Structure 1
Amino acid sequence: MGQPGQVAVSQPWKYARYWLLVIGLLCFSTLSTPRLGFVRSLTSSPESEFPDLPQHCAAIPPIPASALEARRNTLAKRLHDLGAAAYIAEPSSSAAYYFNVSEEHWHLSERPLLFIVTPSVSDATGDITANVSILTPKFEAARAKLLPLSPSAYIQWAEEDDPFAVLSAALGLPTNATAYVDANARLFVADGLQRALPHARIRTPPPQIVEIRERKTDEEIAILACANEATLLAIRATHKRMRIGMRESEARDLVARALAAVGLQRAGCLTLFGENAALPHGSGTDRALHKEDFALFDCTGQLHGYWSDVTRTLALPASRIPDAHLAIWHHVHAAQALARAAIAPGALTSHPDTAARAHLAQAGYAQYFTHRLGHGIGLNVHESPYLRGVPETQATPILPGHTFSDEPGVYIERKVGVRLEDCVVVQHGAAHATFLTAGVGGAARSPWEP
């Protein structure tokens, strides 16, 4: 009972009153505190928060089924030319390239699910086409048949079977066959095949096979270009909404919403302020942005399975960047331009790295450029070939269809880090590579114009 003159309140309602008060305070705090954003997330979407970011790539189609079939037939022809009996892959980016099946469709376990291409030669025409089989656990066969692929055969293995012996018997592989196991496959797959075929040559694919995926088609280049353009647009939209004093976590959440608004999937951004950017892959400390700080954003996102990779080191209108740090930014910018000019058909993959590194060395920053210049990009953010300063005997030629990141950087620990990154494509007849971000302006113009 309450005190005389008061209305009696039952115990449940008394506690409910307290909880309502707490919820009300939380809602008020969320509305008045930018770092929390809980109420905003209930009342707005990334699209409404970024009206200046349309679905940039809505008109870009995915890779059609006919292109996947052409890829498999090209693979079969290369296998035949090399005298190889089969190419074998697990669910991975390589399987996505040839079969439209990645780890998102089928998560890896101790029970192998394998995709196999064997070359088939027509008796009538001599044409070489791909014969596709799927090795599946027997109890998973019904699920395997739901995958977006129509193979020639489903090869099923029971729990008591050796799956690799079942595979070799079903394919009728000769005892001395050469079979290529994709480099993304786990070691036990290659080991199991070697045990099942002790006299066979089980190898990772040679350059003639790897090159098929490395050299992008016009359809792939269109997807990659739009993904990289969209990523840069999201960074620019974020830049407009930043303020001195905001924290790394706030900026990271802001750019993530921008990447979602522009229509990219699985997107994210390494976000580092000030001296934190001196660690190229640092996780940050959630420090606040000061007027003297650069902000570094290294962002990726996915479109139809293909990745973007764009980095900007930028300043705000209210920033007061030290002259020494501005000089570093401009040297990195110049190194990026020199590297792009060196990414040319016929040049070696070591040459662009050398060009960027030579400029930074002349400026006195050689010791602070601590990673390779770039990497291939496609169905993986990082894939071969790589732009790095290896001896020329270890480098490979740059060819039309190659796509790379061009990302020089300077990292002075506990002081400053600057990296600028745009991906490029090497096209037929071009003197040097073109930025994949060229459609929206390409490389940064200044720290204030990313």
Structure 2
Amino acid sequence: RQTAQCFNYLSLLLLALGCWTVLSVLSEAWSGGAPSSPSSTEELEACAWSHLEQHAPLLDVPPIARSEFLHRQATLAAALEAAGPSASTAYYANVSSNFDLSERPFLVVIDRRGGLTTLVPKFEVGRIAKLEMIYDTRTTITWGEEESPYDPLVRTAGLSKVMVDEHARYMIVAGLQKAGVEVVPMSDAVQSLRSVKTDAEIAILKAINAFTLELVRSLQKCIQVGATQEAVAAYPHGGESGRTLQDGELVLIDIGSILHGYGSDVTRTILPVGATVSDDLMGIWRTVHAAQSAGFERMNVNETCSDVDAASRAVVEQAGFGPFFTHRLGHGLGLEMHEPPYLNGANSHKLKAGEVATNEPGIYVTTEQAGLVGKKIGFGVRLEDPILVTETGGVPLTGRRALSPWDP
């Protein structure tokens, strides 16, 4: 079952599902009793899984089909690309960026006719032959340690000009240039081929993001006042260890996961069931939610990325917290956790139907800054959903946005 495969790939640890898990406790000066709560990560996992298990069928979606890989290669054939293993080689030929890079170049070249050529070090021929690459026709060029790897590529493939993937290492660019090849950067047109998602890609992104949200919602049902930071987060970041969750404290959970190579990126700022919070902190949560709504309403076809960012930022600025919204509104999501399009103030790119970008406004005030906003201790709130751009507006790939800290 795909569910089992996904869990195996993601190490099966619910609280560390995927590439990274960040949880921090953000509070005002509150104190109070601490009712009994799961005393260990294992107990919290078991509690969360009892709520999450019913949503496991969300992950039963097929991977990208062979026919789609071949279609991608044909679409790319209008441009020339040479690159080492990266998100682009995963996209076009199913060569994962997890293939270990070394100083020995292994290149994938797609020419204007749609032909696929691989430049393979003789030392690595056996290992590379085991890769599940997808292609219609393929030419393999090997090179030995006694020669420059780029000379046989130029000699055999007749390369004179290549467009390199944005992830290509400098040594590859320099080596191609030394061999007499003109190297040009990836064009916007080629880059957009990956940015606009197909139906199959959207299905995978919907599945893994909806499941990740259900993971967060399951955790919210199990986290209680009195829980330790270590019990909740397998790998706590950005905060002191040994913290115990108090009544009135918000919990920020940011989780990313992977299914068939495609990522999820979901953040919720939550409260345990039955917990209370000050009116001021609740007002800040609502401000962030309104900022997300303002950005969401602008995630339409032909909207400029900078305008989407500005719409969300204006809500935070009007509430008096502008300096504490310290990052861009969002980033593209697909085979990479961060990829185009980027929702920031400097990006003039106009959104296209089929593009996916996160919408994640936040307000973060450190304890050192708290006095600037009339507080005694720091706090922070962020809400994040990946949004699919469609002809009729944005669609949250999580399936739903947060309604409150108690209903994430």
TM-score by length of 1: 0.76
Pair 1:219 & 2:200 matched: yes
Judge conservation of contact 2:225–2:246 (CA < 8 Å) in 1.
yes
In 1, the alpha carbon distance for the partners of 2:365 and 2:109 equals 49
Paired residues for 1:33-52 under 5 Å: 34-35=39-40, 37=42, 49-50=50-51, 52=53
Paired residues for 1:311-390 under 5 Å: 311-390=267-346
Judge conservation of contact 1:291–1:318 (CA < 8 Å) in 2.
no
What code does the residue aligned with 1:63 have?
I
Root-mean-square deviation (Å): 2.1
CA distance 1:96–1:332, shift in 2 (3 Å): same
Which residue of the other structure, out of 195, 202, 209, is the alignment partner of 1:228? 209
Give how far 1:283 is off: 5.2
Show CA shifts across 1:131-190 (max 9, x none).
0011111122122222112552110000111001121111112xxx33111111211011
In structure 2, the residue corresponding to 1:185 is in which secondary structure? coil
Query: In the comparison of the two structures, how many residue pairs are matched?
Result: 360
Q: Which runs of 5 or more residues in structure 1 are unaligned? A: 1-31, 80-85, 121-129, 254-269, 272-280
Give how far 1:36 is off: 6.5
Judge conservation of contact 1:292–1:321 (CA < 8 Å) in 2.
yes
In structure 2, the residue corresponding to 1:449 is in which secondary structure? coil
Equivalent residue, structure 2, for 1:119: 112
Show CA shifts across 1:183-232 (max 9, x none).
112110111001101xx430221101100001111111111111110000
CA distance 1:283–1:214, shift in 2 (3 Å): farther
In structure 1, the residue corresponding to 2:244 is in which secondary structure? coil
Larger Rg computed on CA atoms: 1
CA distance 1:311–1:146, shift in 2 (3 Å): same
Give how far 1:35 is off: 2.5
Paired residues for 1:19-98 under 5 Å: 34-35=39-40, 37=42, 49-50=50-51, 52-77=53-78, 79=79, 86-98=80-92
Judge conservation of contact 2:356–2:386 (CA < 8 Å) in 1.
yes
Equivalent residue, structure 2, for 1:408: 361
In 2, the alpha carbon distance for the partners of 1:310 and 1:97 equals 23
Give the stretch that moved more between structures: 314-323 or 142-151: 142-151
Give how far 1:285 is off: 3.1
Paired residues for 1:390-405 under 5 Å: 390=346, 394-405=347-358
Q: Which runs of 5 or more residues in structure 2 are unaligned? A: 1-36, 368-377
What code does the residue aligned with 2:106 have?
L
Give the share of equivalent positions with the same residue, in percent.
Answer: 36
Equivalent residue, structure 2, for 1:82: none
In 2, the alpha carbon distance for the partners of 1:228 and 1:153 equals 38
Pair 1:190 & 2:173 matched: yes
Equivalent residue, structure 2, for 1:245: 226
Equivalent residue, structure 2, for 1:425: 388
In 2, the alpha carbon distance for the partners of 1:310 and 1:239 equals 14
In 2, the alpha carbon distance for the partners of 1:237 and 1:180 equals 46
Show CA shifts across 1:368-400 (max 9, x none).
10100000000011111100012xxx5111111
Give how far 1:298 is off: 0.4
Pair 1:147 & 2:140 matched: no
TM-score by length of 2: 0.84
CA distance 1:46–1:448, shift in 2 (3 Å): closer
In 2, the alpha carbon distance for the partners of 1:420 and 1:152 equals 45
